[in-house]
């Protein structure tokens, strides 16, 4: 079993920054990919970005240049650094760990961007 615990969400003003963390525990292989997703009210869950086991990253066009994903393999933790936040970034953010054919989701953390 794998458990994911997210943290770092909150309320921030437009233009501000937040860093989300996703800590994984349990039966984890060192080779796993982690994705960050978000779901705004009334909208489908969408991929924000992902990082592979080797550290390659990709991002949705809407967050390119503003969001950065990184990982600390020693801590089994993946981070989502969010800068220049906009009101449209408001959503519940989820991390998803993919290991071989299995996927695990975190519980989600609320990010609200508002003045």
User: pLDDT over 70 for what percent of the chain?
Assistant: 99
Would you list the DSSP string of 3-71?
A: EEEEE--EEE-TT--EEEEEEEEES--S--EEEEEEE-TTS--EEEEEE-TT--EEE-TTTTTTEEEEE
Q: Which residues are CB-contacts of 10 (< 8 A; sequence separation ≥ 6)?
A: 18, 110, 111, 112
Nearest-angstrom CA–CA distance, 98 and 16? 30
Nearest-angstrom CA–CA distance, 87 and 83? 12
The pLDDT value given to residue 101: 86
pLDDT 10s digits, 31-41: 789 999 999 99
Phi, psi dihedral angles at 101 (to 5 degrees) = -100, 5
pLDDT 10s digits, 36-94: 999 999 999 999 999 998 899 999 999 999 999 999 988 999 999 999 999 999 999 99
The pLDDT value given to residue 31: 75
pLDDT band at 28 (very low <50, low <70, confident <90, very high): confident
Report DSSP state, residue 88: G
Assess whether pLDDT exceeds 80 at residue 30: no
pLDDT band at 1 (very low <50, low <70, confident <90, very high): confident
């Amino acid at each position: 079993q794998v458990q994911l615990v997210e943290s770092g969400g909150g309320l921030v003003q437009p233009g501000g920054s937040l860093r989300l963390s996703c800590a994984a525990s349990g039966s984890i292989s060192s080779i796993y990919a982690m994705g960050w997703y978000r779901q705004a009210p009334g909208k489908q869950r969408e991929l924000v970005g992902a990082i592979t086991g080797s550290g390659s990253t990709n991002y949705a066009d809407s967050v390119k240049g503003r969001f950065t994903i990184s990982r600390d393999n020693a801590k089994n933790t993946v981070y989502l650094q969010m800068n220049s936040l906009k009101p449209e970034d408001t959503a519940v953010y989820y991390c998803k760990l993919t290991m071989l054919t299995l996927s695990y989701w975190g519980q989600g953390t609320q990010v609200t961007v508002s003045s």
